[in-house]
Chains A and B, each alone.
Chain A
Amino acid sequence: MRLFFCILSILFLISCGAGHIPAWKQNAAADTANFIETSFVGNESYASKYFDKLLEDFRMTVDPDEIVKAYLTKCVVRFALLEYSECREVAEMLPLLKNEENTAYYNFVSGKARKSEDFPKKYRDIFEISQNCNVEKANSELSSEKNPTTLLIKASFLVKNNCYDAETAGFAIKAASKEGWKKVVLKYLALQLSYFEKHGDMQNAELLKKRMELVVSEELPE
């Protein structure tokens, strides 16, 4: 009991120093997480609603550098799902942006980044690795990544630059599967399958097909 009161007192003291966080920011953080989660799961209708909410939250600020985060999040999520686009929504807002990190993210997802400085700090290492296409080093980089979303984005970047193997896809599958992100899992399983088929590893290909059928057959209409 004494310990409980001690902890409660400490928490109270910390809270006094934590400062005020605006409601839109709290909502935006929650909606961003929900949008990423539902998109990766494959629940499109929910994802669409969360994106609208997310956009609404950021629009409360009327700050282009905040509003663009909603569109960038959408593009990054697509990127992680191996759906590469030019991210046109952000392109229209570029002249208004002041935050260089946002511009770097745009260059990264739209494929316009050419040198390390053009990339977001988080992804500069993977860019360097992909320059010489050291797959082993790339896989090592993925294995050390703790954040599953970041891992998926890095894996997608390697796939885009054709610097991957079955293990690269395997890291993504493992991370996504652990989180229950069914859509991502199926995408990377398909990628891994095509890799096996391309390299003549039919045994593993068959196994993968069966694994995929476990899920896909259930979704087929009667």
Chain B
Amino acid sequence: MKSSANFRVGLFLILSLFMIACFIVFILVKKNVFTNHLYYTLSSSTGEGITEGMPLLFSGFEIGKVEHFELDSKGTVLVLVKVPEEHAHRINKSSVFTLERPLIGSSRFIVTTPNITDTPADSNYVFETQMVDDINEVIKKLQPMVEKIDEIATNLKTLTDEKSHLNKTLVHVEKITNDLAQKRGIIEMMAGDKAAAAQFREGVAHLNNSLGEIETLISNANKTLVKADDQILGDEGTLSKVNAIVEDVNKKMADLDILIASLIKSGENLQEGTKDMDVLRKDLDSIINSVNSMVKDVRKVLPTTQDKEIKLP
């Protein structure tokens, strides 16, 4: 019975130790302790943002880490990247390494391989690193905005200054409201003193008087116009006489119309006469032509004293 209990304890211990050993192996395997790694060297113009253990991503998956980085004698930062053997085929001489510094989150290396079948890179091959600095880009974009904000602030300062126009305007407004509160007239406010306001009032009174005189003048002019109206448009006014003259002219024009009509008639007669003259002329032409032809015939028949040649004088 006692041996049976010892056996059981011994078995338990052995199994426990075995399980602990398995766990440790499992952890080590998971930690790639037994995996072979390949090392690649990257060169960068700056070491800013680079830290040891920084991940190397390929298509969003982590395939390696920054093992170590240092400054060489030429001032270039050399970064040693450790990549497990199983991912090494993703990196060759066509691979491009980019150091990305996002605005939010930590920096990382991203590798892209356009030609997956290119020659594999050996351990001496140094990759050039490109930079994508989101923080600097944002700062560049913000720079003009900050300048504008600064300008606005300066303008606001100028506006609110003691000697600014706005302040002066506000002082004037305050003065006017004070004057209004003391119930001083607008004229006095405009003139600046009471004496000038009094003069203004006197001027207005004088203007009123002048207007009265003008009204009188207009009424006199109206009366004159009435008289003129009587003289021009009255029964024995000028217009009636003009009307009589116009009537007389009209009568004479009517006579003239008759005269013109008779003249037109005479013209028509003359036109007819001209037609007759045309006929007469045609008759005369035909007679002259006949005479001409007769003269030619006579010339042909009668002897002539003319020479056959026309001689110059």
Contacts and interface: CB of A to CB of B under 8 A. Distances in A.
Given A11-B302, A23-B296, A72 B308 contact: no
Interface in B297-313: 299-304, 306, 308, 310, 312-313
Contacts of A23: 296
A14 B303 contact: yes
Interface string A61-80: 00000100100110011001
A58 to B, nearest CB: 8
Given A18-B303, A18-B304, A20-B300, A105 B312 contact: yes
B303 A150 contact: no
Nearest to A75: B312
Nearest to B296: A23
A19 B313 contact: no
Contact of A76 (B304, B308, B313): B313
A21 B313 contact: no
B299 A21 contact: yes
A77 B301 CA distance: 33
A29 B303 contact: no
B111 to A, nearest CB: 107
Contacts of A17: 303
A73 B312 contact: yes
Contact of A153 (B303, B304, B308, B313): B313
A26 B312 contact: no
Nearest to A120: B312
Contacts of B308: 19, 21, 25
B301 to A, nearest CB: 5
A26 B303 contact: no
Contacts of A32: 310
A72 B310 contact: no
Contacts of A19: 308
A36 B308 CA distance: 20
Interface string A147-166: 10110010000000000000
Nearest to A147: B313
Contacts of B303: 11, 14-15, 17-18
A25 B308 CA distance: 8
Contacts of B313: 36, 73, 76-77, 80, 147, 149-150, 153
A69 B301 contact: no
Contacts of B306: 21, 25-26, 29
Nearest to A77: B313
Nearest to A19: B308
B272 to A, nearest CB: 32
Nearest to B295: A26
A28 interface: yes
The interface centre, meaning the residue of B296, B299, B313 with most chain A CB atoms within 10 A of its CB, is: B313
B312 A15 contact: no
Contacts of B296: 23, 26
Nearest to A148: B313
Nearest to A58: B310
A21 B304 contact: yes
A149 B313 CA distance: 7
A42 to B, nearest CB: 18
Contact of A69 (B299, B302, B304, B312): B312
B301 A15 contact: yes
A120 B302 CA distance: 32
Nearest to A76: B313
Contacts of B300: 20
A72 B304 contact: no
A26 B299 contact: yes
Top 7 A-B residue pairs of the complex, sorted by shortest distance between their CB atoms: A14-B303, A149-B313, A15-B303, A18-B303, A15-B302, A15-B301, A105-B312
Interface of A: 11-12, 14-15, 17-21, 23, 25-26, 28-29, 32, 36, 66, 69, 72-73, 76-77, 80, 101-102, 105, 120, 147, 149-150, 153
Interface of B: 296, 299-304, 306, 308, 310, 312-313
13 contacts: A11-B302, A11-B303, A15-B302, A15-B303, A21-B299, A21-B306, A21-B308, A25-B308, A25-B310, A32-B310, A73-B313, A120-B312, A153-B313
